[in-house]
Amino acid sequence: MQSSGELRGTRKLSLLQLVFLGMAWTMPLIVFANYGIASEAAHGYLPTAYAIALLAMSFTAYSYGRMAKQLPHAGSAYGYAAKTFRPEAGFMVGWALLLDYLFNPIVCCILFSLYLEALFPAVPFFLWVAAFVALVCVINYFGIQLSAAVSKYSVIIQLAIIGIFCAGSFYHILAGVNADGVGGFTMQPFFGDELTLPSLLAGASLLCFSFLGFDTVSIMSEEADKPQRNIPRAMLIIIVVCGVVDITVTYLGQLVLPGYSYEDPDTASLALALLVGGGLLKAVFVGSMIGAMFTGAVSSVASVSRLLYIMGRDGVLPRRIFGYLHPKHQTPVRNVLLVGAICLLAAVLPLGTTISFVNFGALLAFGCVNLCVIKYEFVNLRRSGWQAWLASGLLPGAGFIAIGWLFSNLNGRAVFLGLGWLAIGAIMMGLQKYREAPKGGTVANNSTIRGEGGASKVGA
C-alpha cells in the first residue's frame, strides 16, 4: 500500500490551473441559475446585491489568503483550525467542511440529471445519475492534471457563453428594443425609489453562495507550484472575476428585462436568454449548464477526496481507508470511489435538503478561518502595531461579522440538519479517542497536523 505522505504529481499546478479548478467549482454560469429567485428577493436591484455579496466574501477570501501564506500545507479550514487551535477543533471544522465539499457534487449531479431527464424523458433518472458519477470518478482517478484540463475548457466555454449574452444584450440596449423600454444605459439597476436595505440584504444572502468554491484551491496546496504565493492569488482572481461577471450580467439583464416579477422565477434566465438571442441561445444555455454541472462536480470530487486524504493522513479519520494514494497516479483513489458512491444518493435526495447541507458547512468553515487569522497572528506569532491590528484584526473581524450575518439568514432546516451532522462528527471523534486511549495516546498525540515544517508523520 502506498504510504501516507504528500500529494504530488509529475507536474505542479500552475496559478492558471488553480484558477480554472476553483472557477469550475464556482461555475460562472451559476449567475443564471438563481437569477429570478435572487432578483425577486432584491426587488430587481440585483447588481447592487451582488456588490454587497462580493464585499462580504472578499473579507473571507483575504483571511484564506493570509492563512495560506502562513500554513501553505495545512489543507484548507481543517488544517488552519487544527494548527491554530487544537486538532479536535480542526476535526470538527473539517467535518463541517465535508458538508460543503461532499454535497456540492451531489447538487451538481441532481441538476445535471434533471436537465437531461427533461431532454430525454425516456431515460430513467437513476441512469443519468450513474453515468454522471462514473465519468466524474474516472477523470479524478487519473489525476489532478486531467481534472485541471477538464476544468479549464469548461470555464472557457462558460465565459464564452457569458460573452455572447453580453454582446446580445448590448445590441438590444443600443438598438432600443429592450423589454419595457428602459432606454439606454442607466444606473436604474443599481439605485431607485424601490431600493430598500432589507431587500438588498435578503438578495445578498442568497447571492453569496454564488461565490462558494474559491476556497477549494487551498486543498490543492501540496500539488501547487509556489503555494504561498499562488494559492492566495488564485483565490483573489476567482473572487474578482466572478464578482465582475455577476455584476455585469445582472446589470445588462435588468436593462434588457427590467423588473423582478417573473412567470416562473426558476426559469427567468431562460426567458432572458430567449429575449436576447432567441431559441438558439436558449438551447446553448441549457447545454452549457449541463456541462457546467459536470465539470463543477469534477472539481468538487477532486477537492473533497483530497480533504478526506489529508484528514486520513493526519489520523483523524481511519488511515488505511482515507490515507491511501494510488502508487502510479498519486491520487486518493479510495476517497474518489467513496465520494462517487455517496453521489449516487442524488437519485433519492431532494435538491433543497442537499443545498442546505452545503450552505451550513461552508459558512461555518468560513467563519472559523477568519477567527484563525486573528488567533494565529496575534497569539501564536505575537504581532503588534497598527498594521497588525488592521491586517490581522480589523479585516478578519469584518469577515467574521459578515459570515455571522449570512449564517443568521440560514433557514431552520439548514441549521437543524447541520447541527445533526456536527453531533455525528463529535460522536465519531469521541469514539476514536476512546479506542486509542488504552494504547497510551490520542488522536492529537498520534498525528502531527501539517504546518510549515512539512509532511505529517503518521504510519500507513
Instruction: Tell me how far CA of residue 443 lies from CA of 7, 316, 383, 436, in angstroms.
Output: 22, 6, 30, 7
- Does the structure show a pLDDT above 90 at 374? yes
Residue type, 237: I
- Diameter of the chain by CA atoms? 78
What CA dihedral angle connects 86, 89, 90 and 92, to 10 degrees?
A: 160
- Can you give the pLDDT at residue 176? 67
Asked if 60 and 399 touch (Cβ cutoff 8 Å), the reply is yes
Q: Which three cell numbers stand for residue 205?
A: 444572502
- 270-299 pLDDT, tens digit per residue, is 788 888 878 888 788 888 888 888 888 887
% the chain with pLDDT above 70: 87
| 224: helix, strand or coil | strand
- Can you give the pLDDT at residue 457? 31
How large is the average pLDDT for residues 19-32? 84
C-alpha 251/C-alpha 259 separation (Å) is: 12
| 458: helix, strand or coil | coil
Cell 489525476 belongs to which residue? 143
Asked if 101 and 304 touch (Cβ cutoff 8 Å), the reply is yes
Question: Over the chain, what is the mean pLDDT?
Answer: 80
The lowest-confidence range among 37-51, 90-104, 212-226 is: 212-226
The lowest-confidence range among 5-9, 28-32, 147-151, 417-421 is: 5-9
Handedness of CA 305, 409, 82, 395 (dihedral sign): positive
What CA dihedral angle connects 69, 9, 76 and 108, to 10 degrees?
A: 140
Confidence of residue 128 (pLDDT cuts 50, 70, 90): very high
- 157-189 pLDDT, tens digit per residue, is 889 989 999 998 888 888 765 555 455 777 878
Nearest to 288 by CA among 32, 110, 109, 35: 32
C-alpha 84/C-alpha 319 separation (Å) is: 23
Instruction: Tell me how far CA of residue 395 lies from CA of 19, 80, 127, 363, in angstroms.
Output: 24, 17, 48, 17
C-alpha 97/C-alpha 358 separation (Å) is: 8
Show Cβ contacts of residue 372 under 8 Å, excluding neighbours closer than 6 positions.
Answer: 63, 67, 77, 80, 81, 84, 85
- Can you give the pLDDT at residue 369? 92
Bigger pLDDT: 406 or 127? Answer: 127
Cell 426567458 belongs to which residue? 271
Asked if 296 and 24 touch (Cβ cutoff 8 Å), the reply is yes
Asked if 238 and 22 touch (Cβ cutoff 8 Å), the reply is yes
**DSSP conformational letter for 180:** G
Cα-Cα end-to-end distance for the chain: 8
C-alpha 437/C-alpha 255 separation (Å) is: 65
C-alpha 147/C-alpha 217 separation (Å) is: 13
Cell 494510488 belongs to which residue? 326
Q: Which three cell numbers stand for residue 182?
A: 428602459
- Can you give the pLDDT at residue 458? 29
Q: At what angle do helices 46-70 and 395-408 cross, to 10 degrees?
A: 130
Quick check: pTM over 0.85?
no
Q: Which of the residue ranges 49-63, 105-119, 308-322 has the most confident prediction, judged by mean pLDDT?
A: 49-63
Domains identified in the chain and CATH numbers? 15-436 (1.20.1740.10)
Asked if 332 and 305 touch (Cβ cutoff 8 Å), the reply is yes
Q: At what angle do helices 333-343 and 268-313 cross, to 10 degrees?
A: 140
- Does the structure show a pLDDT above 60 at 455? no
Measured in degrees and rounded to the nearest 5, phi and psi for residue 389 equal: -65, -35
Nearest to 69 by CA among 305, 240, 236: 236
C-alpha 415/C-alpha 161 separation (Å) is: 36
